[in-house]
Structure 1
């Protein structure tokens, strides 16, 4: 092991409270506020990852005053994990230190084993791991430093799992946003089963997933019959959670289908429903392809058999980006109730809502009303779907499904239009600026055609679909995109989109919608889930394309008329850091343009509504110097 405490570039970013790309920029720009402060040189390279001296990095951050974390010297020891030590060994030592309350530095292996015997005499979670653990003193020092710099054992565990040792495992769990959403749903289910809180049983997923989900939700059922359960118990002891080995019904059973093959996931769903007791509630989290979309063949018949039990109460498609292992894959959520007889599950596509429309508490309220069978409630997210249509081949959660929107009362329609438009135009116009510096320039301008990217697997082209504008709905939530705006304003009801255009390809976040003729045009769909009206098509970039979607769209929009077929279009190949910075700037530019477009649209609406309202006598314009009271 390396006796010098080290940090990787990722560790430095965490320590400074900035992005990884910001650290790379610091490294390439040694001049700080007019003074020369070269970035520390790496002292080692382990498995292709550069290691930097921790103390030297802390001194450099102090001199340059870079970063957003004022506690860098205190946090640095928690990030410099000794090399070649597994996460489970560190968690074992943290559990021993937390439960015993004794510092581990200078303890012998015999003394640590004696502590483990006192804490775990039945060898349920700790004793055998401590007996076989052989670590140098620097690892013991690290655990003591970690505990000293953390706000309690739970945060120390979080630092371990999110740090270098956790990343080395290669396990990528749900994001914090996904865990909070799932916790809100599970907590609602627990209160529905028992106002005092039903016990929670979690199957599948990692120990970190189980403990993050359980949190302070009450009793957690852990079977204690394998290494996974022992790892879960150690984490539960660190977090001081109430753990039992068994609990009678009613319970809340949570099943994670993440990472499972399709057949195994469908079978696990069936087992979840079959094992539900009368008052149990089951929650399943997994790929939307299993829980929400259409299936075919044997898998469709198996899932249909599961659904015929009428146990499904709620099915929700979650926004993309909630699973770190596959951030482009959409997830789904099922909530099932034992001994349920209703034949209309409630469904929703949360990806059809903007971020400012999503609220975990409101979703939990919808779930609670659905579990109680409250037919009088006006749901914010959920919408009933006939089980008979699902069993006949329809998707469980059609893309874009959300409750109908209520129209505005006709008596105040003009006034509401004017006030809504004026609220946009009254604000100050946004500003947009770009900071640039001179660069040495490239010796060789590297370019590749789109055909080359496609052949290399870095680009995929998907065709659009001819959409009948008569199928558009005023309450539609599935937009139809086209690069030239020909389908602007056309949106389909998600049930109609699923029924009428079942084979149409949907966009994914970051897809480039482009048009080849009469002139090249392109736009980026940041949300996904839309249909694309032919002749527009989709370009989907892989992570190794060397260019971002907004950059590609901007290049296409600058092509002259008649540049040939799309496969022949050439685009530059950029370095990773340059491509990332350019893409971020173009995203900001697109946001700026969108804000200006909204203001232009609002002023057009305002003018039209004023003319219509004054002509109809329903609106009177008051001069700015005259108040309604006449003063």
Structure 2
């Protein structure tokens, strides 16, 4: 006899569990429509047929398809997935999927009736397989150990979707946890790795759930999940994946941070295995590790305090690894999208990675990182820079500029040795006598002040506000300076070269090249101290463009994180002059873009009105 529990009745009727308890107490034996009594010998199990009949007759619940959906929730589902029947059930449903019907020898059997009901309830044998896989993912201990919370699923699937769409890669699961994740959450083509497919009936179930790839398989996105925090066999599994990693493939590994990121001082065997994996002693190339992230806690369903890490492997034209510290990151929708974009940019490498504004991330040489005892690179570390590759990259970027900067002289350091990037904490960089810049608050003035419309009006003063930093295309508003000074106390005006920035969760910063503007809180001012005014003991300083870039990277939002880059004192004036030159070129391009937009608008109006005709010079040459 098939039965339902209180919870499965609630799921079938699309109501809360407490609602079923109310039905039992309100519709007792003396009611005109009594709720079905439990099956004899049980306390909370009810005959499926009786429950379905009661829901249909009384029209309770929110599901009008209870007769068809009942097989998705009753005890027959557990019977079909019992160890004695699972392998046979998977085989039969796979045949039904391929041939559109169950084998004829099952026509009169109880299993055939159960499978027929399940296929009818889910509309197809393929859907029935997916229903069984979902049930296994929620109930079987071996799979539940590698299951993610909703927040974890959203993050991992965002990364997989970004990487899969980038190269039209075929998703390939290398572990039961990865297979369960893909079978339940992806609509893209996927497959099970052949080594896992032969493991057991559970793996075969997930393999049958994947949509068969259309046509020959091209590049692949390998997915591996393992949540055992003291299991050094993880690296042997990843090593096999690396051996199969094609030139256009990518791989995503989700495992405990303790293995993927942290220092393995207490696990010498795992430490040796990880180092051997990332930097094989006699191999010509190192493992193409492109992205390492320490993820927040709370992403695992059954081990809530376990912190997970993520690796992304891919072959690129350069050998850099992006190391992200996301332990304290709140996984908002925007943050998840940013992390997925970071993983994609790191896997792409080249110009894509160079132009990416990574979230809480440092890019370092992969060959250097592979030999480190831990893979968490904080900004406080002095990271090595190879002078040759740094110079070559600078020349390449200069040549990509539309107008070649012939006058911009770029040379390596005098000694030719490896250089470092010194970083200071926000607190250290603003410390009184040894400060690199001054940090000043904006003004708080009444929101009832009316902006001016006429820029030529005497006393009109521009004002930096939050909206102009978030979207620099929004023009600065004008206010009467006399009114502003009446509503504020000791509000400093900006000076040319000041950095106006917005602290908090959405850091933004721009260099004010004009000066003489008011700054409205919560916007603040960061004013670099000129080299001649720095403390005599200081050998470093900063310039506006460097400071603004560091703030945009989140320095002001997390003042305890050392993200302020210092510049050698003797290079401050040269770098400031170059920054002013580049900003002038950017401003000229912005003016040209505005002029092009106005020209286009005028041409559209003239042509649509019949006053003008236009054609391109290339068209005339073709004629």
Pair 262,492 (structure 1): closer, same or farther in 2 beyond 3 Å: farther
In structure 1, the residue matched to 2:376 is 396
What value does the CA root-mean-square deviation take over the aligned residues? 4.8
Give the C-alpha shift of residue 186 in structure 1.
Answer: 3.1
In structure 2, the residue matched to 1:17 is 14
* Contact 1:317-1:351 at 8 Å conserved across structures: no
1:41 aligns with 2:37: yes
In structure 2, the residue matched to 1:159 is 131
Q: Distance in 2 between matches of 1:366 and 1:395?
A: 17
Pair 251,207 (structure 1): closer, same or farther in 2 beyond 3 Å: closer
* Contact 1:201-1:221 at 8 Å conserved across structures: yes
- Per-residue CA deviations over 1:376-401 (Å, capped at 9, x if unaligned) read 534363522546578555552779xx
In structure 2, the residue matched to 1:182 is 156
* Contact 1:222-1:229 at 8 Å conserved across structures: no
Residue pairs, 1:413-424, within 5 angstroms: 413-414=519-520
Pair 341,319 (structure 1): closer, same or farther in 2 beyond 3 Å: same
* Contact 1:314-1:336 at 8 Å conserved across structures: yes
Pair 348,88 (structure 1): closer, same or farther in 2 beyond 3 Å: farther
In structure 2, the residue matched to 1:405 is 507
Pair 150,346 (structure 1): closer, same or farther in 2 beyond 3 Å: same
* Contact 2:292-2:375 at 8 Å conserved across structures: no
Q: Distance in 2 between matches of 1:413 and 1:45?
A: 76
- Per-residue CA deviations over 1:209-252 (Å, capped at 9, x if unaligned) read 275279453463643786337765665555541289x97x8543
In structure 2, the residue matched to 1:518 is none
In structure 2, the residue matched to 1:205 is 176
* Contact 2:134-2:180 at 8 Å conserved across structures: no
Give the one of 37, 61, 73 matched to 2:67.
73
* Contact 1:322-1:331 at 8 Å conserved across structures: yes
* Contact 2:257-2:309 at 8 Å conserved across structures: yes
In structure 1, the residue matched to 2:105 is 108
Give the one of 296, 309, 314 matched to 2:265.
296
Matched residue of 2:199: which SS? helix
1:227 aligns with 2:194: no
* Contact 1:207-1:228 at 8 Å conserved across structures: no
Please, what TM-score do these two structures have when normalized by structure 1?
A: 0.50
Matched residue of 1:263: which SS? coil
Give the one of 322, 342, 361 matched to 1:366.
342
In structure 2, the residue matched to 1:588 is none
Q: Distance in 1 between matches of 2:184 and 2:70?
A: 28
Q: Distance in 1 between matches of 2:370 and 2:142?
A: 37
Number of residue pairs matched? 390
Matched residue of 1:262: which SS? coil
Give the one of 268, 274, 278 matched to 2:237.
268
Q: Distance in 1 between matches of 2:209 and 2:242?
A: 33
Give the one of 236, 242, 245 matched to 2:213.
242
In structure 2, the residue matched to 1:95 is 94
Give the one of 326, 331, 338 matched to 2:303.
326
Of residues 89-98 and 340-349 in structure 1, the stretch that sits farther from structure 2 once superposed is 340-349
* Contact 2:170-2:220 at 8 Å conserved across structures: yes
Pair 355,190 (structure 1): closer, same or farther in 2 beyond 3 Å: closer
* Contact 2:136-2:143 at 8 Å conserved across structures: no
Pair 270,403 (structure 1): closer, same or farther in 2 beyond 3 Å: farther
Pair 153,323 (structure 1): closer, same or farther in 2 beyond 3 Å: farther
Give the C-alpha shift of residue 368 in structure 1.
Answer: 2.5
Pair 71,367 (structure 1): closer, same or farther in 2 beyond 3 Å: same
- Per-residue CA deviations over 1:545-591 (Å, capped at 9, x if unaligned) read xxxxxxxxxxxxxxxxxxxxxxxxxxxxxxxxxxxxxxxxxxxxxxx
- Per-residue CA deviations over 1:420-456 (Å, capped at 9, x if unaligned) read xxxxxxxxxxxxxxxxxxxxxxxxxxxxxxxxxxxxx
Give the one of 330, 355, 370 matched to 2:332.
355
Give the C-alpha shift of residue 333 in structure 1.
Answer: 1.7
Q: Distance in 2 between matches of 1:495 and 1:264?
A: 36
Q: Distance in 2 between matches of 1:492 and 1:476?
A: 14
Of residues 329-338 and 88-97 in structure 1, the stretch that sits farther from structure 2 once superposed is 88-97
Matched residue of 2:143: which SS? coil
* Contact 2:313-2:347 at 8 Å conserved across structures: no
1:377 aligns with 2:374: no
* Contact 1:317-1:348 at 8 Å conserved across structures: yes
Q: Distance in 2 between matches of 1:254 and 1:404?
A: 32
1:256 aligns with 2:229: no
Give the C-alpha shift of residue 335 in structure 1.
Answer: 0.2
Q: Distance in 1 between matches of 2:129 and 2:318?
A: 43
* Contact 2:191-2:210 at 8 Å conserved across structures: no
Give the C-alpha shift of residue 334 in structure 1.
Answer: 0.8
1:30 aligns with 2:20: no
Pair 45,474 (structure 1): closer, same or farther in 2 beyond 3 Å: farther
1:148 aligns with 2:120: yes
Q: Distance in 2 between matches of 1:165 and 1:476?
A: 39
Pair 241,478 (structure 1): closer, same or farther in 2 beyond 3 Å: farther
Pair 377,348 (structure 1): closer, same or farther in 2 beyond 3 Å: farther
Q: Distance in 1 between matches of 2:265 and 2:321?
A: 22
Give the C-alpha shift of residue 201 in structure 1.
Answer: 3.6
Based on CA coordinates, which of the two structures has the bigger radius of gyration?
Answer: 2
* Contact 1:91-1:157 at 8 Å conserved across structures: yes
